[in-house]
Amino acid sequence: MKIAEIQQSGTWESQYGLMYRMEVTLEDNRAGEVNAKKPDAWKVGDEVEIVDAKPNPRGLTKWKLQRPEQKSFGASPDTQRRIDASWSVGQAIALGSRTPEDIESTAIGLLELRDKIASR
């Protein structure tokens, strides 16, 4: 869902510092209010998802928005390779491998075994 309109509607002081209140209308004409630490945190055209919606005393629903890419809990491919490598090296050492060559061989074997089992 994309943001169709934004109107700044004031600031307020929170325990986290100055917050900017914005009235946001989505492309499906739903309207809500969001708070942000920066006045330009959200822009017209931004792709968003509503992750929380609560009524507020001002009549607009208070939303918590996030960008779709923020919802992913998975790591980037490069980061995931590093995580996998660290895991396999740690397991190889725990299994008793001591030399760099033995650690590498065991770690690669563990990754291959994991992939083989996961593909079933």
Q: What is the per-residue pLDDT across 108-118, written as a single tens digit (0 to 9) for each?
A: 999 999 888 88
**Cβ 40 vs Cβ 61: under 8 Å:** no
CA distances from 63 to 14, 37, 40, 111, 113 (A): 17, 15, 16, 42, 45
Q: What mean pLDDT value characterizes the chain?
A: 89
Question: What tens digit of pLDDT does each residue of 58-98 get?
Answer: 778 899 999 886 545 666 788 888 888 888 888 989 899 99
- The DSSP bridge pattern shows strands 3-14 and 17-26 to be antiparallel
Question: Mean pLDDT across the stretch 8-12?
Answer: 95
Return d(Cα 6, Cα 61) in angstroms, integer: 14
Q: What is the mean pLDDT of residues 44-65?
A: 88
pTM of the model: 0.56
